[in-house]
Amino acid sequence: MLACSACLKVTYPTAPEPEVPIPGWDAGKYQVQKFTAALTDRDRSLYSMQSPAVMEYTAAGKHLKAKEDIVVRRPDSLRVEARSPLGVALLIAARGNQLAIFDPGQNRFMRGAATADTLYKYVRIPMAPADAVALLMGLAPRAVVPGVNPDAVSNEGAMTIATYGDPATGTRQLGFADGQLAMVREKAPDGRVSYEVRYSDYHDIGGVMFAYVVDADFPAAQSHVTFRFLRPIVNGDVPASTFVLTPAPGATLMNLSLKEGASLPGES
C-alpha cells in the first residue's frame, strides 16, 4: 500500500484565471468590449420613457425654449406636448411612418408621413421616429449591431471612442466616459459630421442608468437642441393609444406638408 500511495498524485483546486484581453486585442479594445456589452444589456432592458422636459433649440439666429411632456416607446413611437402658460400649445404624435399634429389654438389637425424632415420641423430632431427614440433614450444607433466588435478604438479627451465602419463608407462612433455612453457621432464618407449627441447627468432609475441631459448637434441643419429631462420614468406602461391622435370636434383637417402647419410655440 505504501508503494502504491507513492504513485498517487494529489491535486488541489486552482484559483480561477484572471480575465485577459482577447488575443490580438489591445487594452482599449478590451475595455470597449465591456462598455458595449453593458450598452447591449441596457438596450435589451429599456423600452419606454416619459418625462416633463425643457427643450432649447438654436439655429440660424433663432432661439426657442419650451416646456414639453415627452413620451417614447420603442421601437418608433413618440409623443411630444409643447406647453405654454395657458396649457398645451401643440401636440405631436409619431408612430412608425405616420405623424399627427394638433394645434389647439387654431383647432387644426394635421396628418402626414413621419420623415426626418417633418420631425425636424416640429420636434427639432431631423431623424426618422426610430432614430429619434434612440437619441432621446440614450441608445446606440440602429446601424450599430449589438455584439459586433468596433473597427477601431481611440481616445478623445476623457472619452474612449469605439469606431464602426471606415472613412470610405462613413463611420459611427460611440464615446464612453465613466462607464456610460457619453457620445454618439456619425460621419459621412467625406468626413463631415452628420450629427453628434452628448449624454450627461446620469441617474440611477430603478437599476437603469439614464441621462437627464441630451445635447444634439446637426451640422447639416446648422442647429443644436438640448433636452433636460426633469422627472423621467423608464419602462412604465405606455399603451399604444398614447401615440394615436384623433381630431377634436370641428377641427380643420389638413394634409401635412413642409410648407404649411403649426410651429412650436415661441418661434418667430
Q: What is the DSSP string of 135-175?
A: HHHT---TTS-TTPPPSEEEEETTEEEEEEEETTTEEEEEE
What residues have CB less than 8 Å from 23, skipping those under 6 apart?
A: none
Residue entry with cell 457620445: 183
Residue entry with cell 469605439: 162
Mean pLDDT of the chain: 84
Rounded to an integer, the average pLDDT of 189-205 is 94
What is the C-alpha radius of gyration for the chain, rounded to an integer number of angstroms?
24
Question: What residue spans define the domains of the chain?
Answer: 27-248
> pLDDT per residue over 23-61, tens digit each?
444 666 777 888 888 888 888 889 999 999 999 999 988
Full-model pTM: 0.82
> pLDDT per residue over 102-128, tens digit each?
999 899 999 999 999 889 988 889 999
Residue 260 has pLDDT above 60, yes or no: no
107-116 burial code (b ≥16 CB/10 A, e <16): ebbbbbebbb
The CATH H-level (homologous superfamily) assignment of domain 27-248 is Lipoprotein localisation LolA/LolB/LppX (2.50.20.10)
- Report the percent of the chain where pLDDT is more than 70: 84
Lowest mean pLDDT among 13-17, 32-36, 160-164: 13-17
